[in-house]
């Protein structure tokens, strides 16, 4: 853990039909946001989220066809392979209000979105493969 200074906030939407993960990745790379926090709400026409199985160390994807509400989207921007990388978890609800969620995967298409991205200045959070989990986690820790 280290200290970060708030730099700026970007608020807006991505166009109808955008792939959510791809659209956010392109946005942070274009804006050169290297450390940040992402929040959002909206709706999807098709969603793909995953559960990371700690035993197999693999993502199991789940697909939600048809309209779902994005009740909450939360994530961060850090550095992987030298480039800004987006990591998002998302909560979705179906027409009965049942909630599902997971790690956002490619293939999630937006129907609507309202996104807030906060950019911070400070030491870059760089991802690297972690031997305990198999995931690409932050190398920065506490104490570091």
- Site for Zn ion contains 90 (CB under 5 A): no
What's the chain's length in residues? 144
Burial string for 20-42 (b: 16+ CB within 10 Å, else e) reads: bbebbbebbeeeebbbbbbebeb
In the complex, the smallest distance separating the C-beta of residue 46 from Zn ion, rounded to whole angstroms, is: 19
Closer Cβ to Zn ion, 4 or 136, answer by number: 136
- Site for Zn ion contains 103 (CB under 5 A): yes
Task: Kindly indicate which of the ranges 18-26, 60-68, 78-86, 96-104 contains the residues binding Zn ion, using the contact rule CB under 5 A.
Answer: 96-104
Closer Cβ to Zn ion, 34 or 103, answer by number: 103
- Site for Zn ion contains 85 (CB under 5 A): no
* Rounded Cα gap, residues 89 and 100, in angstroms: 11
Closer Cβ to Zn ion, 104 or 110, answer by number: 104
In the complex, the smallest distance separating the C-beta of residue 91 from Zn ion, rounded to whole angstroms, is: 13
Q: How far is CA 129 from CA 5, 81, 85, 133, 134, in A?
A: 27, 11, 14, 8, 6
In the complex, the smallest distance separating the C-beta of residue 67 from Zn ion, rounded to whole angstroms, is: 23
- Site for Zn ion contains 34 (CB under 5 A): no
Q: Which residues have a Cβ under 8 Å from the Cβ of 46 and sit 6 or more positions away?
A: 63, 64, 65, 66, 107, 108, 109
In the complex, the smallest distance separating the C-beta of residue 113 from Zn ion, rounded to whole angstroms, is: 19
**Footprint on this chain of Zn ion (rule: CB under 5 A):** 103
């Amino acid at each position: 853990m280290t200290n970060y200074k708030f730099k700026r906030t970007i608020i807006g939407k991505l166009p109808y039909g955008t792939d959510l993960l791809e659209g956010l990745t392109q946005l942070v790379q274009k804006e050169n946001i290297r450390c940040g926090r992402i929040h959002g709400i909206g709706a999807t026409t098709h969603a793909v989220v995953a559960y990371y199985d700690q035993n197999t160390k693999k993502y199991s994807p789940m697909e939600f066809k048809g309209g779902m509400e994005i009740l909450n989207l939360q994530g961060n921007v850090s550095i992987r392979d030298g480039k800004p990388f987006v990591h998002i978890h998302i909560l979705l609800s179906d027409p009965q209000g049942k909630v599902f969620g997971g790690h956002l995967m490619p293939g999630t298409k937006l129907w609507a979105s309202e996104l807030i991205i906060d950019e911070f200045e400070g030491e870059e959070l760089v991802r690297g493969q972690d031997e305990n989990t198999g995931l690409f986690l932050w190398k920065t820790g506490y104490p570091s």
